[in-house]
Amino acid sequence: MSLQACDLGVKERLEALTLALNPGEITAICGPNGAGKSTLLSCLAGLLELDAGHVALDGEWLGRLRPQARARALGYLPQSPEVAWDVSVEVLISLGRLPWRGAPASEAQAAIDDAIAAMDLEDFRHRPVSQLSGGERARALMARVLATRPGWLLADEPLANLDLAHAAALVHRFCEQAAAGRGVVLVLHDLSMAMNHADRVVVLDKGRLAADGPPAQALSEEVIARVWRCPARWLGEPGARALSVG
């Protein structure tokens, strides 16, 4: 299930951006503040009105897909998601099954249970969302996306509120999802995470494509100096790189 952005244009945010994203890969979208990362992710999810171009899923324009079909295919986690009701963690996660209304109840419960286990939330299953810490809430919202079992996972800064152990566990889950054939697209500010775990890195700068390729190429010291406008040096071995800045 391919996901393509064709000549995307959003006034003052994205300019003539074309990408063909591959299932079975983790693609990291990186760039300085205001580069257009969240805008691009929202476009890929079909949530923004475009001034130019289109996004296609398996060759079909997103705008022509029925909302239910799009919701089944694309799981999206925004940077600052809101929870409208103070429901339990399990009920919140079950909302991820709404696109699959009519499916067997056993299938829905299995997806919910898997998502709870994946995000280490069993002890919080019956707790109201209002009683969660910021990191616990972030994990519950990610579990809601996982419960949908979409073909594509699109997440904007999914590691931002997580402690070290849970961030590492979530990265492992993303790797598992990609290995199972799903496409994973993440907006990341942590360049070390992108370097060590992504299959591909897309770098944006002022709404334009600045680099696109394997992490070692797209996040080279030369690209970082040009795009982030600061000197940086990679330390360590492939797969365990750390970035020294300044």
Sheet of 208-213, strand order: 74-77, 152-156, 183-187, 26-30, 200-205, 208-213
User: pLDDT tens digit string along 99-146?
Assistant: 999 899 999 999 999 999 999 999 999 999 999 998 899 999 999 999
In this model, does residue 161 exceed pLDDT 90? no
Mean pLDDT to the nearest integer, 221-226: 97
In this model, does residue 85 exceed pLDDT 90? no
User: pLDDT tens digit string along 198-223?
Assistant: 999 999 999 999 999 999 999 999 99
Name, in order, each residue with C-beta under 8 angstroms of 223's C-beta and a sequence gap of 6 or more.
203, 210, 211
Q: Which of 135, 137, 187, 188 is nearest to 162 (CA)?
A: 135
Return the SS3 of 17. strand
In angstroms, the CA 194 to CA 66 distance is 33
In this model, does residue 50 exceed pLDDT 90? yes
In angstroms, the CA 129 to CA 146 distance is 17
Q: For the chain, give the percent of residues with pLDDT over 90.
A: 88
Say what the pLDDT of residue 246 is: 79
User: pLDDT tens digit string along 164-209?
Assistant: 998 998 999 999 999 999 999 999 999 999 999 999 999 999 999 9
Q: Are 207 and 13 in contact (CB under 8 A)?
A: yes
In this model, does residue 83 exceed pLDDT 90? no
Say what the pLDDT of residue 143 is: 96
In angstroms, the CA 49 to CA 94 distance is 29
In angstroms, the CA 216 to CA 239 distance is 10
Q: Select the CATH number that applies to the domain covering 3-82+150-245 from these four: 2.40.50.100, 3.40.50.300, 3.40.50.2300, 1.10.3720.10.
A: 3.40.50.300
